[in-house]
Amino acid sequence: MAKKPTTHNDAAKPTAKVTPSDITGTDIGGESPQKASPVPNDAVLSLSFAEPQGSGGETRQIAGDEVATLTTQQGIPIADNQNTLKQGVRGPALLEDSHFREKMFHFDHERIPERVVHARGYGAHGFFELTDSLADVSRADIFQRIGERTPAFVRFSTVAGSKGSSDLARDVRGFAVKLYTQEGNWDLVGNNIPVFFIQDAIKFPDLVHAAKPEPDRDFPQAQTAHDNFWDFISLTPESFHMIMWTMSDRAIPRSLRTMEGFGVHTFRLVDAEGKSTFVKFHWKPKQGLQSVVWNEAVKINGADPDFHRRDLWEAINGGDFPEWELGVQLFNDAFADSFDFDVLDATKLIPEELIPVRIVGRLVLDRVVDNFFAETEQVAFCTQNVPPGIDFSNDPLLQGRNFSYLDTQIKRLGSPNFTHIPINAPKCPMAHFQQDGHMAMRNPAGRVNYEPNSWGATLGGPREDPVRGFTSFAESADGPKQRVRSESFADHYSQARQFFVSQTPIEQKHIGDALVFELSKVERPDIRSRTVSHLLNIDAMLAATVASGLGLALPDPAVAARKPISDLPASDRLSIVKNGPQSFKGRKLGILLSDGADAAVFRALLKAVDAEGAVYEVIAPKIAGVTLSDGVTVAAKHKIDGGPSVLFDAVAILLSTEGGELLSGDAAAKDFATDAFAHCKYLGFSAEAQPIFVKAGLVGDLDEACLPLTKAADAKAFIEACRSLRYWPRELKVDLDAATVA
C-alpha cells in the first residue's frame, strides 16, 4: 500500500486530482464549452476492429451515444490522459509510465524531414478515365479499355520554398500524379512547365543550392530574386528557355485548377511485340489557363498565404471537381532524327503545331484527403515507377531522377517499407520476398523467403512472369565511357525566343517586368549584366527593356555555343491569354456590401453568378453582415480589411448612399477598388460607390470593364463580361513600364 505523504510541503497543499470528467471542451460547431459527462460504472463496452488509419479499436456508449475509447498505440485502454504517473500526489514521475513515454515519444518524432524541393504541397484523390485506347502503341494495362477508371492521387507543389512558405511565390509548380493501375503504380512526376533548367541531373544539386536561401543568411525564402540564383543561371545558358517560362505568368497561376501539367521528359511506349514509340505527356485543364499578376500575387500572399490550398479544398468540397485531359504527343525515330532539337534534351519542347496532342483520357479530382500528413505529406513519388508498356528514354535528367527519387523517399520516410504506407501502397495484388526493415507490416508468410526455390507452386511463393512482367525496350548502345554533353544539346536560345514571341504583348511585358524585379534584387552589377547578355540572344527588345529597367548599359551578347534559330514560328499553345477559360464558371466574385444596399440588384447578381456556375463571397464593414434595402440581413464572409479584392476574380461594389460616404473614408475600401482596377479586373458598381472612386482618384479612369449596376437587369450582362477575366488594355494605360512594350 502506498505510504501517506507526511512532508510539510505535501501536507500543506491541496491534493485534488484532475480527472477526465473535469476537462471541458468546445465542440466542432463552436458552441459553449460543456463539462464532460462522467463515465457511469455500468457503461456498455463494445469491441470493434479499427481500420488501419482509425482512431481507436473500442467503443462505448455514454448517455446513448457511441464514443471511441482512448487507447495506446498497442490498443490498451487509457484510464487517465490528464496526469503523469507519480510516486505520491506531488512526488517524482515514474519511469514505468508507459502511456506518457509513448505519447511523448510519438510527439517528439511527429515531424519527418520535409522534402528538399517541393516541400510546399497539397493533394487530392480522384480517378483517371481512358477515353481513347492506346493499345496500338502500348501494352500498358491502363491504356487498353475505354471507359475504365483508375484510382489516382495528385500532389501539387511549389519547388523552392519550405513547407511553411506561401502559395503564390513565383515558382515552378510540381504536378505529380500517382495512378494505381492494375499492374502497379505509375508515377508521372511532372511540372506545370514542359521544360527544365538543366540538361543533366548531375547539376541538380547546384541548381537547388543556388535557388534556395543563401546559406550564410538563410534568406530569401521561396524566392529566386537573389545573387546566388542569378549567378548560377547567368553561367548556365541552357537554363534560359526555362527562365522565360518562370518569368512569365505561368509561374504565378491563379489556381492549381488552372495549370497545365507536363511529364517534361521524353518517355517510350512499348507494345506487345516490343516496338517503341516516343511519347510526351500533357495534362490540359478543362478550366482553362489563368494566372495572376505580380502585384496581386504579393498581396495575396499577405492576405491568404494558403490561397491555392483553400481554392482546391473549396472547389472539391463544393462539387466543382477539377478536371484535366491527358494528352500525348507520339512520334517515331524518324521525327526525332529530323527535329531541330534533341528529344532527349529536357530544356526543349515539341511545339503542338508540329505534333498535335492526342487526347486519350481525363483526370478528375473528386475527394480531399482525410489526413494531410498521412496522405499528402507521406505520399512518395518515384519517376522509376512505370508499369509494363511504359519505358524510359536516355534523357540524362530523367536517368538521374530515376536514381535519386528512391533514395530521397527512404531518407524522408525512414525505411525501405514506405510502400507499406496506405497512400503509397499499390491497389493491385503484390507478391515478393522483400522483408524486415523499419515498420515492416507485410512480411512474406511461410517458410520460404528466397528465389529460386524448390518448394513448388503452393509453398514456394511468387515467380517471375516473362509474358506479363516488365521488360525494357531493347535499345542498343555502344561507345566509350565518357563525361560529355551531346552536341545536339548545344542550342540554348532558339526555343527561349520561340516562347517569348509566342506571348501576347501584355504577357511579354510581364516577362520583362519579372526580369527587372528579380535582377533589381541582385546586388552584383556583373551578374545583372551577364544575364542581360544572354537575353540579347533571345530578343533584342526584351534585353533593352530589362537593361533600361535596371539603368544598365547594354553589354555585348553572350557567346552562343550554337547560333540561335531566329525564325521559329510562334506557337499559340504557349500563351496563357490565348488559352484562357471561356466562361466565369468556377471563378469567384467578391461583393462589397453596405447596409441599405439595393436588395434587387444583389439578388439578381446572385442569380447570374449561380447560372454561370461561379461562386461569390460577401465583404462588409462588419463580419456580422449587412441589412439590405428590403430589411433582409445578409451574413458576411469577410470584414473589409480582411477580404481584399486580390482574393477574387472580379468584384462588385453595392452600397447605399450612407454606405458610400462611410466607406469613402476607409483605406481598406479604397484599396479594394484601386487594387481591382490596377489588376485589370472587371468591376461592377452601384452609383452610390462613386465617393470611393473619387477618394481613390479613379473617376476619370473608369473604362468599359467598369460596369454600372443600377438595376437588376444589369447583373447578367456584368457576369457575362466577367468571362474575359481581365481587361488587359487597362494595364498598358496605368503602368509606368508600359511604354517599353512594342
pLDDT of 3 over the 70 cut: no
Residue pair 402/322 in contact (Cβ under 8 Å)? The answer is no
Query: In the CATH hierarchy, which top-level class contains the domain 587-724?
Result: alpha beta
Provide the 10 A C-beta neighbour count for residue 204. Answer: 17
Share of the chain above pLDDT 70, in %: 90
Grid cell at residue 696: 481613390
Q: Which of 118, 226, 308, 638 is catalytic?
A: 118
Cα separation, 172 vs 242, in Å, equals 10
Contact 572, 558 (CB under 8 A): no
Q: What are the CB-based long-range contacts (under 8 Å, 24+) for 247-250?
A: 247/170, 247/510, 247/511, 247/514, 247/515, 247/518, 248/499, 248/503, 248/507, 248/510, 248/511, 248/514, 248/576, 249/291, 249/292, 249/293, 249/507, 249/510, 249/576, 250/192, 250/193, 250/291, 250/576
E-strand spans in 63-218? Answer: 65-68, 121-130, 149-158, 173-181, 184-191
Q: Using one digit for the tens of pLDDT, what is the confidence trace for 106-139?
A: 888 888 999 999 999 999 999 999 999 999 999 9
Question: What mean pLDDT do residues 570-581 have?
Answer: 96
Q: Which of 31-35, 321-325, 415-419, 673-677 has the lowest mean pLDDT?
A: 31-35
Neighbours of 496 (CB within 10 A): 28
Establish whether 191 is a catalytic residue. Answer: yes
SS3 127: strand
pLDDT at position 477: 84
Domain residue ranges in the chain: 121-203+241-420, 493-578, 587-724
Cis peptide before 33 (omega within 30 of 0): no
Collapsing DSSP to helix, strand or coil, 404 comes out as helix
pLDDT of residue 19: 39
Nearest to 616 by CA among 594, 641, 587, 595: 587
Q: At what angle do helices 714-721 and 599-612 cross, to 10 degrees?
A: 40
* Homologous superfamily (CATH) for 121-203+241-420: Catalase core domain (2.40.180.10)
Q: Which of helix, strand or coil describes residue 519?
A: helix
Q: How many residues does the chain have?
A: 742
pLDDT for 480 equals 85
pLDDT at 5: 37
What pLDDT was estimated at residue 43? 34
Amino acid at site 623: I
pTM reported for the whole predicted model: 0.89
pLDDT tens, residue by residue, 462-475: 988 988 899 999 98
Q: Please identify which of the residues 99, 125, 191, 385 carries the catalytic annotation.
A: 191
> Around Cβ 77, how many Cβ atoms within 10 Å?
13
**Mean pLDDT comparison of 43-57, 99-113, 438-452, 573-587, highest-scoring range:** 573-587
- Comparing C-alpha atoms, which of 336, 324, 314, 393 is closest to residue 360? 324
- DSSP tag of 239: G
CATH number of 493-578: 1.20.1370.20
Q: Which helix (H) or strand (E) holds 675?
A: helix 667-678
Instruction: Clarify whether 332 is annotated catalytic.
Output: no
